Amino acid sequence: MSSESQIIRTEYSDVMRKSYIDYAMSVIISRALPDVRDGLKPVQRRTLYDMYELGIRYDKPYRKCARIVGDTMGKYHPHGDSSIYEALVVMAQDFKKGMVLVDGHGNFGSIEGDGAAAMRYTEARLTKFTQEAYLADLDKDIIDFGPNFDETEKEPLVLPVRVPNLLVNGAEGIAVGMATSIPTHNLGEVIDAVKAYMKNDAITTKQLMKYMKGPDFPTGGIVVNKDELLNIYESGQGKIKLRGKVEVEERKGGKKQLVITEIPYTMIGAGIGKFLNDVCSLVETKKTTDIVDISNQSSKEGIRIVLELKKNADIENLKNMLYKKTRLEDTFGVNMLAVANGRPETLGLKAIIEHHVDFQFELTTRKYKTLLAKEEEKKEVQEGLIKACDVIDLIIEILRGSKSVKDARACLTQGITENINFKSSISKKMAALLRFTDRQATAILEMRLYKLIGLEIEALQKEHETTLKNIARYEDILNNYDSMAALIMEELDAYKKEYGRKRRTAIENAQAAVFEENKIEEQEVVLLMDRFGYAKTVDAGVYERNKEAADSENKYVVHCMNTGKICLFTDTGKMHQVKVLDLPYGRFRDKGVPIDNISNYSSSEEQIVMVCDMEQMRFANFLSATKKGMI
């Protein structure tokens, strides 16, 4: 065979396209997006299942996170250990999740963006909520299992989650060509919405939102565009406007202070530090003169950022400035994308609830089919034992007359009496009529003698009655839609009662923040720029008094208005604009700032050949010529 026949000739672009689509689908389905049924990404599902398998329950001691991460990586998730640990940490952070799924012990990071300690120092276990609502009944053939990456273990394809986790805990993930961003919601409200849908599946999104008002972020805050929420939940896409909560506190001497007690969810992490810096720069650039001091007094009790104000400060205007100029008002982009029936889909609120309810019916059906089969098995054995107790003397005669277990079993199940010695022909005739099932015969052969005590026989009959009641109940649940729906609702109510909590995020329609900046008084100034590119502006009167020194020390001297712009022409034929207000204004002997810092001009790549005022250019004819005589 020639080596030529081993080479597959194909169009390069086709190979690239196919490979890239395969990669994209792998990222979308098995990494970045949650499943609509359990609301979990594969890494979260595998971590929780691994903790369940290791027996790290809520009532057992904590175990090292390194152990959990290593086990998950070795058995189910062949990716970096940091990605598994990060997923574990987020599931334990109460400021990121609506309901915490992992009970963390040690440093699991803070709302201000501090990272968690290394996994060798931290410990974790499942929470009671996760165990009851996410991992119960795994032994009842309730979900499908598939092979892991090397086919040495079985892993669940989806967890039997009993609450709408996709809504309760939200999700965020960046896939290839698509991203998901689902806000967190209130457990009690979501459960009420699910029940409303189960009672009337023709319900509209608007009616569902009577039960579930909107997002409920763990950091609180205020949603200020209530009227736009309906459209967001119908289409599954949109922007939620969020504000932090600001309170006014009185201080001694008639002074007041603004206290931020809740922040927008989007400000978690580095956003808090950035907010403090933004407020400082507002004070430095004299956008406001009302703020005297700023301090971050946040602690484990919660957020508390204090702005001390001058006497008679305009509080409303200041609040509006904070909303407008900092991240105290921010937008949360909603894109409710999840994997439904094996493919990514943008889903509205009703569609998510619909998928959840279908999944609950599937789980309940499978659970009660398994339970029913077990009860049927029990019933068969119990009936056999009850019947055996009535003819126990005959059975003892069969067993004593048998040479082997095989002969005894053949007699009990098929009435074959050939190889057995009986005391009388009547016994032989009666034995020939026996027709126990295989399962019953096994139970009889394994029966202990104490089972023949009167009380034990009574207990067996009571047990049989209970089994018959269970069978009737399970059959009713399986064959009657209303019975199954009532059971699911009952379970949901129990979760709501035990784990529900008050809403933290307020929802309202608020006026857009309008902030009036102090008008700048227009005046003539003079731009001074030395040969090193350091620039500043001074008052025209100051320039006149120091004219001689100014002209000799500076390369460019330009008269302009403080509200105008300056044009920098360079030897590469570019023009850069600079706002005069961006240049430092002050004393004649101040150093100024490098012009590179406040414009796109780069002294390493080009040289300034001329500087002029924008206003003057409007009324001047302008001629430019190159070295080679192009004009």
What does the angle CA 39 – CA 362 – CA 76 come to, to the nearest 5 degrees?
45
What does the angle CA 93 – CA 53 – CA 180 come to, to the nearest 5 degrees?
40
Q: Is 541 exposed, middle or buried (0-12, 13-18, 19+ CB in 10 A)?
A: exposed
> Distance between CA atoms of 353 and 469, rounded to whole angstroms?
33
Q: Which of 369, 351, 357 is nearest to 162 (CA)?
A: 357
> Distance between CA atoms of 431 and 569, rounded to whole angstroms?
116
> Distance between CA atoms of 455 and 452, rounded to whole angstroms?
8
> Distance between CA atoms of 321 and 42, rounded to whole angstroms?
43
Query: Which helix H or strand E contains 297, and what residues bound it?
Result: none
> Is 20 considered catalytic here?
no
Using an 8 Å Cβ cutoff, are 542 and 590 in contact?
no
Catalytic residue among 20, 23, 58, 121: 121
| Collapsed DSSP state (helix, strand, coil) of residue 527 | strand
Using an 8 Å Cβ cutoff, are 444 and 388 in contact?
yes
> Distance between CA atoms of 498 and 248, rounded to whole angstroms?
36
Beta bridge partners of 238: 334
| Neighbour count for residue 395 (Cβ, 10 Å) | 22
> Distance between CA atoms of 284 and 277, rounded to whole angstroms?
10
What does the angle CA 496 – CA 497 – CA 503 come to, to the nearest 5 degrees?
60
Catalytic residue list: 121
